[in-house]
Structure 1
Amino acid sequence: MKFAKPLPSYLVHRYQGWRATTYTENQAWYRRLADEGQRPRAMVISCCDSRVHVTSIFGADTGEFFIHRNIANLVPPYEPDGLQHGTSATVEYAVTALKVAHLIVLGHSNCGGVQGCMNMCCGHAPELEEKTSFVGRWMDILRPGYAAVESITDEKERLRALEKKAVCVSLENLMTFPFIETAVKDGSLTVHGLWTDIGEGSLEYYDPESDKFLKV
């Protein structure tokens, strides 16, 4: 591993600042977490987008959320013999081992992954159609959902609709996991779909009765 390098200086300085302040002021709490293990109340599946800061949005403390991030906050369907196990394994651990009470899918505005899916579905992203494109094959999860928004003529509105559709597709796929379906039916787990507008700081939740996203 001769190619690995030390951290850049700005990250070293930030770590040292955190260690000297936040960690030192809450040292007992961090040690308790280390000794007693984690007991998160909720799992959040969000996008890798650096602009989506889950813990800041909810004012969460260390140890409160079990967070999984991937391109476009997608969950693949339950496929024990499939190849997309990263997200599935994380969901399984959260529900069966950590016994989280809430499972949240959080989408967001101006999502690059969803934009890529839309471009791919419109035939404008041949590079994502390549079998060697990891992003393209991952976005295939959302491809069936494009039919629901295809008729929207305004491109910005269509993108926003597809971002929210990505949340719904993930919620639907979550319910194909037997252990999630069982936990939801017995009341030990609730699932939630959210979408946040980065620029506005707003948050919406999916309401199944109206089949719409409503303001929180």
Structure 2
Amino acid sequence: MQQFPERLLNGYRNFMSGRYADERERYQSLAEGGQRPHTLVIACCDSRSAPETIFDCGPGELFVVRNVANMVPPYEPDGQYHATSAAIEFAVQALKIANIVVMGHGRCGGIQAALDPDMEPLSPGDFIGKWMGLLRPAAGQIQSNNLMTQGERQTALERVSIRNSIGNLRTFPYVRALEEQGKIALHGAWFDISTGELWVMDGKTGDFARPSRQAAEVAAESEPEPADD
């Protein structure tokens, strides 16, 4: 029988003697009263870009769904299996979250795969290739731009993908309705692993910029109220 990874067991022991011990009452309250996270974060599976770490959030604050390249597919109630769509449905309809953040990051392997038409599938199922097909039109346009370096193409598609996912979020009828009512806000963000910088998307122009302290304070004041239960 395979042994459970010792690194994880040691980490769990540290968690129990550290963070859990410090926040025992909070965990007990969350267990008894249920979760009420304020934000859904759709992030990449990449081990270097964990939202709870980047945003320094405690238990119960974020509802996080992670997939390859932090993508949101369009609304497709077709009877198939849709893990990301299921998470969006639960966060919006059951948890009544006030914000959805699509957070991409630099050096994303999924985006790199989308930009490389000659990349061989990792398995006969080619699940990554099919998933990244959601970006095929944009990837083709960016890859054919000979004025950009490969690094610039990579960053460009990482950010275009975030805008594309926010557009797909608006194909979910309940997300679109709540946004129009001012009860939910959609945000885009891009994290640079190498520098630790966070770039936030302007909701009107789609441009990405590093937020100033003043801009962050204004954004906090304008957050929508959670929807009524």
Query: What's the CA shift string for 1:130-158, capped at 9, x where partnerless?
Result: 87211111111111222442343311100
Q: Gaps spanning 5+ residues in structure 1: where?
A: none
Moved more, 76-85 or 66-75: 76-85
TM-score under structure 1 normalisation?
Answer: 0.91
Query: Which residue of structure 2 lines up, in the alignment, with residue 149 of structure 1?
Result: 142
8 Å CA contact 1:145–1:169 kept in 2: the answer is no
Matched residues, number: 209
Query: Which residue of structure 2 lines up, in the alignment, with residue 64 of structure 1?
Result: 61
8 Å CA contact 1:75–1:174 kept in 2: the answer is yes
8 Å CA contact 2:100–2:186 kept in 1: the answer is yes
SS of 2:134's partner is coil
Q: Gaps spanning 5+ residues in structure 2: where?
A: 212-229
Cα deviation, residue 59, structure 1 = 1.4
Superposed CA RMSD in Å reads: 1.7
TM-score under structure 2 normalisation?
Answer: 0.86
Query: Which residue of structure 2 lines up, in the alignment, with residue 19 of structure 1?
Result: 16
Matched residues in 1 for 2:19 and 2:43: separation? 25
**Does 2:179 align with 1:194?**
no
Matched residues in 2 for 1:186 and 1:103: separation? 15
Moved more, 7-16 or 26-35: 7-16
Query: Which residue of structure 2 lines up, in the alignment, with residue 209 of structure 1?
Result: 204
SS of 2:162's partner is helix
**Does 2:32 align with 1:39?**
no
Cα deviation, residue 108, structure 1 = 0.3
Matched residues in 2 for 1:93 and 1:139: separation? 24
8 Å CA contact 2:43–2:64 kept in 1: the answer is yes
SS of 2:200's partner is strand
Opposite residue 35 of structure 1, the aligned amino acid is E
Opposite residue 38 of structure 1, the aligned amino acid is Q
Matched residues in 1 for 2:207 and 2:144: separation? 17
Aligned pairs (5 A) from 1:68-107: 68-81=65-78, 83-107=80-104
**Does 2:207 align with 1:180?**
no
